[in-house]
Structure 1
Amino acid sequence: MITHKQTTLAIFAVPVLLLATAFLGNLFVDGFNWSGSDFVVAGILLFGTAGLMNLVRTVVKNRNYRILISLVIVALLILVWMELAVGIFGTPFAGS
């Protein structure tokens, strides 16, 4: 059986792996040029999402609500990431 500590470790390992992949891509792939601030913003978004997912996992007891809230959090992450990347909504913080 997976313990609470192992699940928390797995939740926070995903952002580490994603950022490590992006860092290696930045080193070895032409056309992949993230600045330091890009990594900081990505880290805030990914670790913030992981923290919220961990909070939902510990606070919400109903499994269906926990899944629904987690899906909403992931959808918001994707929307914010897309806005920052390409500016699909045209907000001022899109970088365009």
Structure 2
Amino acid sequence: MDSTDPTPKAFLQTPWRLTLWGCAAALWLLPALAMRLTDQVNWAPGDFAVFGAMLAGLVGGIEFLSALRLGLRSKIIAAAGVVAVFALVWVELAVGIFD
């Protein structure tokens, strides 16, 4: 196989992708740690599922944008849009800003 083969092994050998998904996994587990340390955090399994889906969409969107043949400036602007959508959905689910 050549070095451009997009196999899972090649995927894991790209340091920034592994770091990006690793950080998302760490963020996903952070509320579980907080629940063990304090009573102020009380997440149900559905909360973890929704947050995991949101993180997967965020990281998947950023990864998709990085694969496009765009200039660096366009990629940064598009990634900022993906992050903004993630933040708006997160805030809406947390406190309901659009009511």
TM normalised by structure 1 equals 0.85
The alignment's C-alpha RMSD in Å is 1.2
Greater Cα offset, 78-87 or 23-32: 23-32
Aligned counterparts of 2:97 and 2:30: Cα–Cα separation in 1: 25
Q: 1:19 Cα deviation (Å)?
A: 1.3
Q: Give 1 or 2 for the bigger CA radius of gyration.
A: 2
1:72 and 2:81 correspond: yes
The percentage of counterpart residues that share the same residue type is 30
- 1:55 corresponds to which residue? 64
Residue ranges of structure 1 left out of the alignment (5+ in a row) = 91-96
- 2:4 corresponds to which residue? none
2:49 to 22, 30, 40: 40
Give the total of aligned pairs.
Answer: 87
String of CA shifts for 1:32-74, please: whole Å, max 9, x gaps. Answer: 1000000000000011100110110111431000000000000
Residue ranges of structure 2 left out of the alignment (5+ in a row) = 1-12
Moved over 4 A (4+): none
Q: 1:13 Cα deviation (Å)?
A: 1.2
